[in-house]
Amino acid sequence: MIEKSTENEADSAEEVLKSKCDEILKGPVTAETFLAINWALRGFWSKYLPNTFFLGPSPSEAGLKLPELDKLLMKPLAYVLCGDRGVIYEALTLKSRTSTAHQERLCGHQFSSGEATYTCRDCALDPTCVLCYECFSNSEHKNHKYRISTSSGSGYCDCGDKEAWKADPLCSIAANRQNRMQMPSTTGCLSDAMLIRMKVILTCVVKYCVDLLSWPKPFTLPPDLTFRSLSVPRLHDQYQTVLYNDESHSYDQVIRALMKAIDCGKEQAMMLATKVDLEGRTSVCFGTKAYCEKARNMIEQKTRDSGSPLRVETLRAPVFASQQFAQVMIGWLSSVCSELPSLVPVVCDILMNKIPFEEPFSGVLPDHLVVAEKLLLWDVRWWKSTDIV
């Protein structure tokens, strides 16, 4: 939960941020305009992102807390983008509350061989009624008596099938999707002034995503994105072992490696393996740097015999949190474009040009490349949840 003092401070800071952006955007748009907006947004993000981060109790749960993220970061971003809290703002803030992995489709997930499936002992009509990890973790059933099983490689997620459940047939993702479908359309022509405003803001959003997802240093953040406040005690001293899906190891190989490397039970290892398969990467343990490095070495050692070791990295917690935020904003940007088709040419123009202001840091990608070229060059290092780029 957000502390009341933090929430009140954030509300005030949101108005200050919006007023500052309004003032900057009054004059002609120049490179200095982009730079000033960029610094304003990054200052806001680096201050309030730590308040959305959560470390436990399970390693797979370490990361951003969605309610706090929505309140402290996504709603202010939509407010600054729109310039008011009208109908477009309401549509965009509703979209920010949905999962990027399931936003634009019914689930219907087909299970792979060895993948974990979840059934609710209290609500399922029979044992064949199952959920995928994403739907289960966003449903009321996670608070009930449930069972985890291993799929033989057939069957589909039953989320939304009212005939399969005595209660709570929809996860929160599907429920939000239904609410969006009932909303009046906000698509239409945006004024030239609004398009200019949105281009400046979205350019800064795209830059943040490119910078963080191509950032090569696992233990430090760019200077202008270093966390300015810490709601999580000793967050800077926390590290995370992050496992990636390399598409070449089986569920069983990953599960066995995790059980030995982080000394967890089969149920937790199955849940972590499922999350890796679904999202492309997940945190499998957190603690001191030495502890996380030991886990990383163990996972690599236990999977090296199969031909090549799993890709696993140790990241400092603030770096992992910032990359998660960039991932969320990528999904949000896609939602903005689906809600406002007239913005698609604007986003395409951003991608097909260089960022129009001086880079505060260069990372590992040449500065002369346009944004789309940077995305393509770094694509091999990204994970499934960022494929939407």
- 213 and 352 assigned to the same domain: yes
- 301 and 200 assigned to the same domain: yes
- 318 and 212 assigned to the same domain: yes
Strands 113-120 and 146-152, sheet pairing = antiparallel
CATH number reported for the structural domain that contains residue 123 in this entry: 2.10.110.30
Q: Is 21 helix (H, G, I), strand (E, B) or coil?
A: helix
- 218 and 162 assigned to the same domain: no
In-domain check, residue 187: no
In-domain check, residue 179: no
CB burial of residue 115 (10 Å; 0-12, 13-18, 19+): buried
- How far apart CA 131 and CA 120 sit, in angstroms, is 9
- 93 and 119 assigned to the same domain: no
Residue in the block written with tokens 């406002």: 340
Query: pLDDT tens per residue, the chain (389 residues)?
Result: 555 555 667 678 889 999 999 999 998 999 899 999 999 999 999 999 988 887 766 666 667 787 888 889 999 999 999 998 887 887 777 655 444 444 444 577 888 888 889 999 999 998 889 999 889 988 999 999 999 988 877 788 999 888 889 999 989 887 776 655 444 444 456 788 899 999 999 999 999 988 888 888 899 998 888 887 655 556 778 899 999 987 777 788 888 889 988 888 888 888 888 888 878 888 998 889 999 999 999 999 888 876 788 889 999 999 999 999 998 898 888 888 877 888 889 999 999 988 766 454 455 666 678 888 877 877 766 776 665 44
In-domain check, residue 6: yes
- Which residue segment(s) compose the domain that 124 sits in? 113-170
Q: Quick check: 296 and 313 in contact, CB under 8 A?
A: yes
In-domain check, residue 181: no
- How far apart CA 47 and CA 225 sit, in angstroms, is 9
- 9 and 93 assigned to the same domain: yes
- 163 and 305 assigned to the same domain: no
In-domain check, residue 387: yes
- 232 and 131 assigned to the same domain: no
In-domain check, residue 106: no
User: What is the number of domains present in the chain?
Assistant: 2
- 292 and 313 assigned to the same domain: yes
Residue type, 354: K
- How far apart CA 42 and CA 40 sit, in angstroms, is 6
Helix (H) or strand (E) holding 5: helix 4-24
- 158 and 226 assigned to the same domain: no
- 223 and 320 assigned to the same domain: yes
- 93 and 117 assigned to the same domain: no
